[in-house]
């Protein structure tokens, strides 16, 4: 402290110093405006003439308005620095830093959400699920990602109720799928979150009702394959499945025979029925006196 009268000298932290004596303050020498001091001992940088930044470190000014870095003893500052989305400027001791908000994690220079779509981060008391939509299920203690109000947990995702599917007999029927119940006498479809049921359902011909666990299904009989919702006969390469109106046979190659109008395998065009097979005409054999011979002989009269 310097006194008004020069002969009194001044008072230093170590005691009284008479006027004209020399006293060196134990502070860093301040740089002039626009200059950066390279510190001899710690090879750092001086910012705002009072803050020392160690080599390789960064410093954020109050309110996080400026970010400065010390590299190779040189100070460089970003005067248009902003914390960015999902982050906020917080003070810790005498320093400031951009900290990710709750529910976000810093990856590089960006704060990204640690929760997936439709999730919320925080303290969850209970959440509803697709399998238990009415009474909510107690959440785990602590802050974590959970399905907020209006969304329901389905496996690992949060979905809207209409995306859950439909409930029937304590089971979930996924959206767009069907459920067969009551011994295959009732078939229900889930459309836009609502069940539409056929109470007079039957498996149909060529199929048998089978039960597996708590569900029922119509399975095609042996020799039949499911095409759409119909069990069709497994036909050979020379056959075609459909409504047969007329087919030719080796016994009657010129005049087609009337079929029974049912859907089944029948000989496709260019093939003739012989016993239970469909063959080409040259494989039918020969007609002699109205008799079909499986093997043709050259007859010499």
pLDDT at 198 (0 to 100) = 92
pLDDT over 90, % of the chain:
4
Which SS3 state, helix, strand or coil, does residue 22 take?
coil
Sign of CA dihedral 151, 153, 155, 156: positive
- Token representation of residue 254: 């010129």
Report the first-to-last Cα separation within the chain, whole angstroms: 151
Residue 15 pLDDT > 80, yes or no? no
Query: Count of CB atoms within 10 A of residue 278's CB?
Result: 25
Q: What is the mean pLDDT of the chain?
A: 75
296 or 186, which is more confident? Answer: 186
Q: CA-CA distance, 107 to 86, in Å (whole number)?
A: 12
Residue 266 pLDDT > 80, yes or no? yes
Most confident of 47-61, 167-181, 285-299: 167-181
pLDDT at 165 (0 to 100) = 82
Question: pLDDT tier at 19 (50, 70, 90 boundaries)?
Answer: very low
Q: Please choose, from the candidates 238, 239, 234, the residue with its C-alpha nearest in 3D space to the C-alpha of residue 224.
A: 234
Fold of 115-164: Laminin (2.10.25)
pLDDT at 51 (0 to 100) = 63
Q: CA-CA distance, 45 to 74, in Å (whole number)?
A: 7
Tell me phi and psi for residue 281, to 5 degrees. -60, -35
pLDDT at 208 (0 to 100) = 92
Q: CA-CA distance, 200 to 210, in Å (whole number)?
A: 17
Q: Please choose, from the candidates 152, 162, 142, 163, the residue with its C-alpha nearest in 3D space to the C-alpha of residue 118.
A: 152
| The residue to which tokens 């699920």 are assigned | 129
What residue ranges do the domains of the chain occupy?
A: 31-111, 115-164, 171-227, 238-293
| The residue to which tokens 């020069």 are assigned | 6
Most confident of 40-49, 55-64, 216-225, 279-288: 216-225
pLDDT at 48 (0 to 100) = 59
pLDDT 10s digits, 71-106: 887 878 887 788 888 888 888 777 788 888 888 888
- Give domain 238-293's CATH architecture: Ribbon (2.10)
180 or 42, which is more confident? Answer: 180
Write down the pTM of the prediction: 0.37
Fold equal for 115-164 and 238-293: yes
Name residue 69's beta-bridge partners.
58, 76
Q: CA-CA distance, 118 to 96, in Å (whole number)?
A: 32
pLDDT at 98 (0 to 100) = 85
pLDDT 10s digits, 202-235: 898 889 999 877 778 899 988 788 888 888 888 8
pLDDT 10s digits, 124-161: 778 888 877 766 777 777 777 888 888 888 888 898 87
Question: pLDDT tier at 50 (50, 70, 90 boundaries)?
Answer: low
């Amino acid at each position: 402290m310097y006194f008004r009268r020069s002969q009194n000298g001044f008072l230093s932290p170590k005691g009284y110093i008479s006027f004209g004596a020399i006293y060196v303050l134990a502070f860093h020498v301040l740089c002039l405006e626009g200059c950066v001091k390279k510190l001899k001992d710690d090879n750092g940088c001086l910012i705002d003439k009072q803050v020392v930044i160690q080599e390789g470190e960064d410093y954020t000014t109050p309110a996080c308005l400026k970010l400065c870095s010390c590299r190779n003893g040189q100070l460089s500052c970003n005067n248009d620095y902003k914390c960015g989305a999902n982050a906020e400027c917080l003070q810790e001791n005498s320093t400031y830093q951009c900290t990710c908000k709750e529910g976000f994690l810093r990856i590089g220079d960006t704060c990204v959400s640690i929760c997936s779509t439709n999730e919320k981060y925080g303290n969850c008391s209970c959440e509803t699920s697709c399998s238990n939509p009415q009474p909510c299920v107690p959440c785990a203690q602590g802050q974590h990602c959970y399905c907020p109000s209006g969304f329901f947990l389905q496996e690992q995702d949060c979905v809207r109720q209409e995306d859950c599917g439909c409930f029937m007999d304590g089971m979930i029927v996924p959206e767009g799928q069907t459920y067969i119940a009551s011994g295959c006498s009732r078939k229900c479809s889930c459309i836009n979150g609502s069940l539409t049921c056929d109470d007079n359902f039957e498996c149909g011909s060529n199929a048998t009702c089978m039960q597996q666990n708590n569900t029922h299904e119509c399975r095609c009989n042996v020799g039949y394959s499911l095409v759409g919702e119909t069990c069709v006969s497994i036909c050979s390469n020379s056959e075609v499945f459909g409504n047969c109106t007329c087919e030719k046979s080796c016994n009657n190659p010129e005049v087609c025979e009337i079929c029974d109008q049912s859907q089944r395998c029948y000989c496709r065009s260019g093939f003739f029925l012989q016993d239970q097979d469909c063959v080409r005409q040259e494989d039918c054999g020969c007609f002699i006196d109205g008799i079909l011979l499986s093997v043709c002989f050259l007859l010499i009269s």
